Amino acid sequence: MDELILRMGLALAIGTLIGLERGWRERDAPGGSRTAGIRTFGLAGLFGGILAAVASAFAAPSVFIGGFVGFSAIFAVFEYRETQRDNVFSVTSTIAAMSAAALGGLAVAGDFRAAAAGGAAIACILAGREVLHGLLKRLSWNELRSTLTLAAMTAIGLPLLPNHSIDPWGGFNPFDIWLLTVLSGAISYVGYIAVRILGPKGIILASLLGAVVSSMAVTAALGRRAGSGEPVSLLAAGASFAGMISIIRVGLLTILIKPALITIILLPLFVAAMVFGMSGGVLSFRAQAAVPEHQPRNPFDLVSLLIFAAAFAVISTLSAGLVQHFGIESILLTSTLAAIADVDIAVLSALRLNTDPSNQRVLGNAILIALATNGGARVILAAATGGPNYALPLMGITLLALGFGAASLLIYC
């Protein structure tokens, strides 16, 4: 009984939350002129919970079905009369009331957490009417098509792909390759939206956030924008910041998995990250003063994403085959090859090796070589996607970071 009372209370709360938005929107209407307000919506949620409880008690699902249909019909009739009087066309309140009753039933007889989340989501959608309508008016057809394409790539493409290697060497995993492709497209599109909202500073924010997952994907996404004719200074700054985040991420992985190695690689990692960060800051400062009014072009291009996916698949398969041929003892070669595609793969493969303490220096060198190789791969990727104007600043910054990092390593040794 105690649990049932709590679930009934949740059903009432869900309806009241939805009714709070509905009642606030019509708060200036005189009493008795509305079909439903905060009280009616609250009762709708509770009514759905009562129907579910009765249906469960008598093992008769038809009780809930019949009550829900009857409630929906009655509410729709009253809402129709109100819209006729006000000469408006909207079914939002009817759908909201039906949702409140259905979620009330789910809260009592099903997953109460899903019911609570659904109620909160509905209230947020109702409250965001002006924002959503404003975004829809500013949305172009290319932006809408890109959004739908990205959603299809994620929700339809990913679940259909096998999440295991299909080649003899274990390098070609369709799910992983498509996931990185989707990530690259998402980073590109999020960066585009960020620039639309925040201006040039949006590129930096999107690069920092995207590099937490993949600096290669950020570099490719920014490169496609550079190839479309956008000014390259801020794009190169974003790629530089992505390189900084990549180094920091490797340091954190090392601390979490094999902290003994951090004393070996900490100084060169710190120096290289500082070079990338300071260089990105200089480029960003100069670029924002030079191109503040530039309007970005939609960078989401399915063809270029497919080319990126194909190149990544070839590199991953080739690397896996060579690694198997040379053997696991060639950790330096393994890290170099794996880092061409993804630095995390190279670093994790080195960190997971069970070696005696005398080999710690070898593992540390493997991680540093992987970072250096990945930095060079990002430069090549930048040239392929964004051209020389985008790649040359990044190449100079990368060489500077490698030089200072190597010098610090020699001094430390």
What are the start-end ranges of the H helices in 153-231? 158-160, 174-198, 201-211, 215-227
DSSP string, 58-120: TT-HHHHHHHHHHHHHHHHHHHHHHHHHHT----HHHHHHHHHHHHHHHHHHS-HHHHHHHHH
Splitting the chain (413 residues) into consecutive groups of 10 residues, what average pLDDT does each group show?
Answer: 86 93 77 78 94 93 94 92 84 92 94 93 87 73 76 83 80 79 71 63 72 76 81 86 87 80 86 92 71 49 72 68 62 69 65 59 80 89 88 92 89 69
- The predicted pLDDT at position 1 comes to 56
Q: Which two tokens stand for residue 369?
A: 């070589």
pLDDT per residue as tens digits for the range 285-313: 776 544 444 444 555 667 767 776 776 67
Q: Which helix (H) or strand (E) holds 370?
A: helix 360-386
- Indicate the angle between helix axes 215-227 and 388-412, nearest 10 degrees: 150
Residue 368 CA to residue 401 CA, distance in Å, equals 12
Q: What is the pLDDT of residues 30-79, one digit of tens each?
A: 766 677 888 899 999 999 999 999 999 999 999 999 999 999 999 999 88
Q: Take residue 398 and report the two structure tokens written for it.
A: 């990368």
Identify the pLDDT of residue 192.
Answer: 66
Give just the sign of the alpha carbon dihedral 163, 165, 167, 168: negative
pLDDT for 348:
60
* Residue 38 pLDDT: 87
The count of C-alpha atoms lying within 13 angstroms of the C-alpha of 238, restricted to the half-sphere facing its C-beta, is 37
pTM over 0.75? The answer is no
DSSP 294: P
Tokens standing for 177?
């390759």
**Token couple for 295:** 């309007």
